[in-house]
Amino acid sequence: MVIKTRRAMGGAVPFKAALTERLALIQPSREQVQRLLAEHPPHLTPGIRELVSRLQERHVQVFLISGGFRSIVEHVASKLNIPAANVFANRLKFYFNGEYAGFDETQPTAESGGKGKVIKFLKEKFHFKKIVMIGDGATDMEACPPADAFIGFGGNVIRQQVKERARWYITDFVELLGELEE
């Protein structure tokens, strides 16, 4: 399943198909998700806390748009002082007893092109003049347009397609922090 997910991030497989297949195999319970977060909390990429803080100091709204799961992405958002309302990610569904019941397929992030739909929504709702998308996968890159610019990020994993097609490609958030200082 890891191979299929990598292929989806590389743009070779529709994201919703990869997500559906992966979750059908795993079928995570609410308890398993909570245990995963407790035992293996997400680690922040070096420099991201400083970058987000610097943007927020400049009154720039920061959003997390992810094909991952909201329960995990919200954990990251809280570490970065990003409000939960600024998180767009897939929602797992559970039955009342905590067993896996699927995922919310109506979330735009559940499908290829979904991140672009979120950006379009943000532009309409907040009347943003410019949105810059930073990401490491094909689903991030395809969100530009409607994003006005895309910065490819290879600090966690280098995806060759993203590296080759991004006009600006970085492997360290320190480079972006430097640009903000100028």
CA torsion, ordered 56, 58, 61, 67, to nearest 10 deg: -60
CA gap 143, 15 in Å, rounded: 14
- Percent of the chain at pLDDT > 90 equals 16
Enumerate the H helices of 40-134 as residue ranges.
48-57, 70-79, 114-126
Amino acid at the residue 171: T
- pLDDT for res 5: 46
CA 33 to chain centre: 18
Domain boundaries along the sequence of the chain: 45-91+111-181
Average pLDDT over all residues of the chain: 82
Q: What is the pLDDT of residues 80-124, one digit of tens each?
A: 999 999 999 988 889 999 898 888 888 888 777 888 899 999 998
On whether the 45-91+111-181 domain is CATH 3.40.1190.20, my answer is no
Enumerate the H helices of 27-172 as residue ranges.
30-39, 48-57, 70-79, 114-126, 138-141, 160-165
CA 126 to chain centre: 20
